[in-house]
Amino acid sequence: MNINGKHYRTIWVDPGNEKVIRIIDQRHLPHHFVLEDLRSLSDAITAIKDMHVRGAGLIGATAGYGMYLAALEAPSGDEFDNYLRDAGSSLKAARPTAVNCSWAVDLQLQAMKKGSATHEKISIAKSTADEIADMDAEYCRRIGEHGVKLIEEISRKKADKTVNILTHCNAGWLAFVDHGSATAPIYAAMDKGIKVHVWVDETRPRNQGAALTAWELGQHGVPHTIITDNAGGHLMQKGLVDLVLVGSDRTTHTGDVANKIGTYLKALAAKDNGIPFYVALPSSTIDWEIEDGIKNIPIEERGGEEVKYIEGLCEGFIKKVLLAPDNSPAANYAFDVTPSRLVSGLITERGICRPDKKSILGLFPEKKRRDG
């Protein structure tokens, strides 16, 4: 992704010091572009927990590098493996809904078993973290290649008139290492000269849509309009939405989709209006264990102050203001689960499939269990 013409990923190893991991601190966007150095496991945990980095894929990539930083600081000898196991548990607990975090930690623990001396394990942790980041970027690029076909088809049916896409939260380049999941087909459509316009849900309480999706679409020159979270149903009734395209933080292998709070309401409105509702996700976001997403996906609850306060630019300074009575309590559920029956299809790096076990396993046959 280009920022002011320069290509960036959202996370990378400092070319001058390979013990330092660099990230874009997303808390300052869209007003300031700030880079941060991660030098320890604790820096990586804070970056995930306090959302300097966020989004399923990027949380996974940061967890991958977090394990590498943990390997660098771990005591050598017998205690090394215990230290890394504990590091993995702390990273997994930092944001519980996005399954990419556990996926990356488990890949690291598995990979490091191949080394025996401490220096070998550190070198494996570094190359595994790089692989996780590269894989994330490549999978998102492929999601773009597959997903663009849906946009092309709608554009053809509309005789090349603008395709209006509604998205929720930020499942863009900033939520991954590069390209994004829900945005990858949109960028691919732009690159093919297809006319697109994106309705960007602001996404209260943290406003990832208004702050991040709008910013990255703007950087890529994609026409877009920010709307309040409650406007989507109205736009659908008026025929102003051709496609809903969202990301996912965890999708069960049965097709239930956990995504940013409010996604379920968009899926209901899309169903009522006969509008296709697609979810774009790399396979690292698939939970191969859980069958029933509504019952079993852990839903992160964050502090009520994110609901009661809002932050923005005021006369050149970032300010936080109170919206509600100071003594009113607030609840902050960060995600909801859209049941598979409301999902038209899943766009993965291997292609598009229906949101059910058979179709998902059709794309990922290696995940079939011997016990059926």
State the catalytic residues.
Answer: 249
- For residues 148 and 280, which CB has a smaller minimum distance to ligand MRU in the complex? 280
Centre a 10 Å sphere on the Cβ of residue 266 and count the other Cβ atoms it contains. Answer: 26
- For residues 54 and 92, which CB has a smaller minimum distance to ligand MRU in the complex? 54
**Per rule CB under 6 A, is residue 208 in the interface with ligand MRU?**
yes
The span from the CA of 359 to the CA of 255, in Å, is 9
Binding track, positions 165-184, relative to ligand MRU; x by CB under 6 A? ----xxx---x-----x---
Tokens of 231: 């406007």
- For residues 57 and 355, which CB has a smaller minimum distance to ligand MRU in the complex? 57
Residue with tokens 């009734």: 237
How far is the CA of 196 from the CAs of 45, 101, 220, 224, in angstroms? Answer: 37, 32, 12, 9
- For residues 62 and 155, which CB has a smaller minimum distance to ligand MRU in the complex? 62
Please tell me the count of residues contacting ligand MRU according to CB under 6 A.
Answer: 17
CB 334 → ligand MRU: shortest distance, Å? 6
CB 177 → ligand MRU: shortest distance, Å? 11
The span from the CA of 49 to the CA of 210, in Å, is 21
CB 62 → ligand MRU: shortest distance, Å? 11
- For residues 164 and 183, which CB has a smaller minimum distance to ligand MRU in the complex? 183
**Per rule CB under 6 A, is residue 92 in the interface with ligand MRU?**
no
CB 347 → ligand MRU: shortest distance, Å? 12
The span from the CA of 105 to the CA of 41, in Å, is 12
Give residues 285-344 in contact with ligand MRU (rule: CB under 6 A): 334
Centre a 10 Å sphere on the Cβ of residue 30 and count the other Cβ atoms it contains. Answer: 16
Buried residues in 143-170 as b, exposed as e (16+ CB within 10 A): bbebbbebbbebbeeeeeeebbbbbbbb
CB 56 → ligand MRU: shortest distance, Å? 4
Binding track, positions 128-167, relative to ligand MRU; x by CB under 6 A? ----------------------------------------
Give residues 39-78 in contact with ligand MRU (rule: CB under 6 A): 54-57
CB 212 → ligand MRU: shortest distance, Å? 8
**HSE, side-chain direction, 13 A CA sphere, residue 271:** 14
Nearest to 177 by CA among 55, 90, 270: 55
CB 9 → ligand MRU: shortest distance, Å? 15
Burial class (CB in 10 A: 0-12, 13-18, 19+), 297: buried
The span from the CA of 169 to the CA of 185, in Å, is 16
Residue type for position 336? D
**Per rule CB under 6 A, is residue 189 in the interface with ligand MRU?**
no
- For residues 128 and 181, which CB has a smaller minimum distance to ligand MRU in the complex? 181
Binding track, positions 229-258, relative to ligand MRU; x by CB under 6 A? -----------------xxxx---------
User: Mapping DSSP to helix (H, G, I), strand (E, B) and coil, where does residue 311 land?
Assistant: strand
The span from the CA of 314 to the CA of 320, in Å, is 9
H or E element, residue 47? helix 41-49
Does residue 205 have a cis peptide bond before it, meaning omega lies within 30 degrees of 0?
A: yes
The span from the CA of 208 to the CA of 80, in Å, is 38
**Per rule CB under 6 A, is residue 259 in the interface with ligand MRU?**
yes
- For residues 1 and 56, which CB has a smaller minimum distance to ligand MRU in the complex? 56
Residues in contact with ligand MRU by CB under 6 A are 54-57, 169-171, 175, 181, 208, 246-249, 259-260, 334
